[in-house]
């Protein structure tokens, strides 16, 4: 008699997934861990070639006697020692810092007021917002020529307006303060709109509910601006302060065009509006003293770094 085996048979295990080759695993590891670094690597490579290398090479040149004939003797820090005792260098430092203050503080305050106005409900708002960008796209050479005519001593529009109030004509290129004011006016006209757009973008990200709640609590517009708007756009303020400081320390084209004539690179016959960048250019590319000019360039870099750190610490403490 035949017997049928009804016991359940063991289930065969599922087939194992094929093990990927080692090469695919390595590529996956690279993709997961290293691809973010590879994506941002081009920026750092370009920065190293066009930023760090020129900076280091300029430092190397500043340690040598270097003229049109090429590298001379290694002189260590002699160029910097001479620089600290150079009255023309300190005159350029004072001029640069003076124009920096006149061109940065009013510019950022006006930009904030302008951004606040553009953040209101106005007719033709898009046209108005586009209008503040126009000075940025204008050639800096054209701006310099036009403003040089506006501030002309004999036929300038500014002296014409002052004459209506019985104010004697001002020779805007003759003194420090008058030349600083004229040059700072050019810079302010060109960059106020740019900073206003940055502030405007930051203001539009502030929730409207905050203003509605402040209105219900009886806060005035000025109080809302001081207690809500300014604290909420603080990162943008820090950005514009640092960028404006860097640009102010590198001021070159506007005073150069304003100067005109044979004393253009000297910032006037008495160097009354010569900036640090102009002084560096004069030493390196007019006198062909590349070592000394490189020392001036490095001092500009150190001053910008110092001012940026001070700005950061002040704004951070305020936060």
pLDDT given for residue 97 in this prediction: 92
Angle (CA) 55-299-277 rounded to 5° is 85
Handedness of CA 261, 266, 270, 276 (dihedral sign): positive
Q: At 203, give phi and psi (nearest 5°).
A: -65, -35
pTM for this prediction: 0.80
DSSP type of residue 71: E
Whether 318 shows a pLDDT value over 70: the answer reads no
Summarize pLDDT for 71-113 with one digit per residue, the tens.
Answer: 778 888 899 999 999 999 999 999 999 999 998 899 999 999 9
Q: At 271, give phi and psi (nearest 5°).
A: 60, 35
Q: Say if CB 248 and CB 103 are below 8 A apart.
A: yes
Whether 3 shows a pLDDT value over 80: the answer reads no
Whether 209 shows a pLDDT value over 60: the answer reads yes
Whether 8 shows a pLDDT value over 90: the answer reads no
Helix, strand, or coil (residue 319): coil
């Amino acid at each position: 008699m035949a017997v049928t085996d009804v016991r359940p048979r063991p289930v065969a295990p599922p087939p194992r997934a094929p093990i990927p080759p080692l090469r695919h695993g390595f590529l996956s590891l690279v993709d997961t861990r290293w691809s973010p670094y590879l994506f941002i690597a081009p920026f750092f490579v370009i920065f190293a070639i066009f930023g760090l290398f020129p900076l280091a090479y300029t430092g190397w040149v500043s340690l040598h006697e270097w003229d049109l004939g090429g590298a001379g003797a290694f002189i260590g820090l002699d160029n910097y020692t001479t620089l600290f005792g150079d009255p023309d260098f300190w005159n350029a430092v004072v001029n640069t810092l003076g124009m920096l203050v006149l061109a940065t503080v009013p510019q950022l305050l006006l930009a904030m007021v302008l951004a606040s106005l553009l953040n209101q409900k106005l007719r033709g708002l898009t046209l108005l917002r586009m209008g503040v960008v126009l000075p940025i796209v204008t050639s800096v050479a054209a701006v310099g020529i036009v403003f040089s005519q506006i501030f002309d001593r004999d036929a300038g529009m500014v002296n014409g307006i002052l004459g209506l109030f019985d104010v004697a004509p001002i020779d805007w290129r003759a003194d420090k303060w008058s030349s600083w004011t004229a040059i700072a006016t050019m810079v302010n006209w060109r960059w106020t709109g740019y900073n206003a757009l940055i502030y405007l973008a930051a203001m539009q990200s502030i929730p409207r509910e905050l203003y509605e709640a402040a209105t219900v609590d009886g806060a005035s517009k000025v109080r809302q601006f001081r207690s809500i708007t300014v604290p909420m756009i603080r990162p943008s303020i820090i950005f514009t302060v640092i960028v404006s400081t860097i640009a102010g320390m590198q001021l070159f084209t506007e005073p150069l065009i304003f100067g005109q004539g044979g004393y253009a690179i000297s910032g006037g016959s008495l160097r009354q509006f010569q900036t640090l960048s102009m002084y560096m250019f004069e030493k390196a590319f007019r006198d062909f003293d590349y070592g000394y000019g490189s020392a001036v360039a490095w001092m500009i870099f150190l001053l910008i770094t110092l001012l940026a750190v001070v700005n950061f610490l002040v704004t951070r403490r305020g936060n």
